[in-house]
Amino acid sequence: MSDALLTVDHLNVGFATKAGIVQAATDITFEIYPGEVLAVVGESGSGKSVTALALMRLHPDNTIVTGDVRFEGRDLLNMSDREMRATRGNDIAMIFQDPMTAMNPVFAVGDQIVETIRVHDSSVSKQEAWTKSVDLLKLVGVPEPKRRASQYPHEYSGGMRQRAMIAMAIANDPKLLIADEPTTALDVTVQAQVMEVLHEVQAETGSAMMLITHDLGLVAGSADRVQVMYASRLMETGTIDQIFYESQNPYTMALLDSIPDLDGLKEQLEPIPGNPPSLLNPPSGCAFRPRCAFAADVCAAEVPARVRVGDQHESRCVRTHELETLVGVTS
């Protein structure tokens, strides 16, 4: 495997509040390699978006960030603001959850793409940048791109705004594209179209992609590797087959059991009992323990470490190597 494009080592992200520190991302360690799609999945509030925003240094002033984040060997967390602005949007780009609030409502979509291009390369004329913005809108499947480039975000449908955000994100041919919930609030048909656009863009530019979503079904045919997050921590990491068919973590198993089965093999859905814990006052030991069907006394003693269970496959559970037997007993 080639050298990692992005290396994240023991990243911690906390928010200082009047009630104390809310630890939103804890001991996050992973790599992204050139050209691959890494999916990050988990329930809302698990720390997926917080991790991505920390990589981009887009967190608020009350944020406490520690750890080591390197992009092509460059230390992102200790870059000057000027260096980070040059990297952000050029080498690393992000597609935000809500394109309506991420785009400026008083500027035409084409003008916003032009600004994205020229802020990183002032030698490009406005006309050249405008022509490229139209080409980008065409690339991502916006109909009548020349006319649409002159329209404002509110004149676009939800799916078209998402496409425009993708066009803006890839304007400078980034090496890493972070897609944060790119299909949120879109119907199933448009979701499929947006994912198809993302893969076409990736094939066109050769970029790597970090796909953040709470929908495991969405990543089944989209990712090379998957990371499952819960209560600020990575719970399991592996290939698509390892996560979907060889899972070695109770939380991942519970997530998979809660997905509707279109083949009709499941008689009913199996929701995960309880609620995610407070990140201000998390439970002792494993954060998933209060909701876990396999919890034991040992699970309350200490936070479990990540255990390697195979090539590219790791799980955070003290009972990882017992699960196959335990599942057979409880089924």
Bridge-based pairing of strands 306-310 and 233-239 is unpaired
What whole-number distance in Å separates Cα of residue 69 and Cα of residue 277? 27
What's the pLDDT score for residue 265? 61
Provide the pLDDT confidence category of residue 97 given band limits of 50, 70 and 90: confident
Whether residue 262 has pLDDT greater than 70 = no
Bridge-based pairing of strands 225-230 and 37-41 is parallel
Please answer whether residues 286 and 292 qualify as being in contact, where contact means their C-beta atoms are separated by less than 8 angstroms. yes
83-96 pLDDT, tens digit each: 999 999 999 999 98
What's the pLDDT score for residue 191? 80
What is the mean predicted confidence (pLDDT) over 189-193?
A: 81
Whether residue 128 has pLDDT greater than 50 = yes
Please answer whether residues 229 and 49 qualify as being in contact, where contact means their C-beta atoms are separated by less than 8 angstroms. no
What's the pLDDT score for residue 331? 44
Please answer whether residues 49 and 97 qualify as being in contact, where contact means their C-beta atoms are separated by less than 8 angstroms. yes
Residue indicated by tokens 């939380």 = 251
Please answer whether residues 229 and 42 qualify as being in contact, where contact means their C-beta atoms are separated by less than 8 angstroms. yes
Which of residues 197 and 325 earns the better pLDDT score? 197
What tokens appear for 179 in the block? Answer: 């897609």
277-309 pLDDT, tens digit each: 999 999 999 999 999 999 999 999 999 999 999
Taken in order of first residue, the domains within the chain and their CATH numbers are: 6-223 (3.40.50.300), 228-330 (no CATH)
Share of the chain above pLDDT 90, in %: 69
Whether residue 271 has pLDDT greater than 60 = yes
Provide the pLDDT confidence category of residue 264 given band limits of 50, 70 and 90: low
Provide the pLDDT confidence category of residue 106 given band limits of 50, 70 and 90: very high
pTM of the model: 0.90
Provide the pLDDT confidence category of residue 328 given band limits of 50, 70 and 90: low
148-173 pLDDT, tens digit each: 999 999 999 988 998 899 999 999 99
Whether residue 329 has pLDDT greater than 60 = no
Residue indicated by tokens 């608020």 = 60
Residues 6+ apart with CB under 8 A from 84: 57, 76
Provide the pLDDT confidence category of residue 194 given band limits of 50, 70 and 90: confident
Mean pLDDT for the chain overall: 90
Provide the pLDDT confidence category of residue 41 given band limits of 50, 70 and 90: very high
Share of the chain above pLDDT 70, in %: 96
Please answer whether residues 240 and 220 qualify as being in contact, where contact means their C-beta atoms are separated by less than 8 angstroms. yes
Whether residue 250 has pLDDT greater than 50 = yes
Least confident span in 26-35, 163-172, 195-204: 195-204
Whether residue 220 has pLDDT greater than 50 = yes
Residues 6+ apart with CB under 8 A from 96: 102, 165, 180
Please answer whether residues 316 and 235 qualify as being in contact, where contact means their C-beta atoms are separated by less than 8 angstroms. yes
Provide the pLDDT confidence category of residue 141 given band limits of 50, 70 and 90: confident
Provide the pLDDT confidence category of residue 236 given band limits of 50, 70 and 90: very high
Of 23, 28, 24, give the one whose Cα is nearest residue 11. Answer: 28
How far CA 254 is from CA of 41, 43, 224, 291, 323, in Å, comes to 13, 11, 21, 10, 13
Beta strands (DSSP E) in the chain are 6-17, 20-32, 37-41, 63-71, 74-75, 92-95, 176-180, 208-213, 225-230, 233-239, 306-310, 313-316
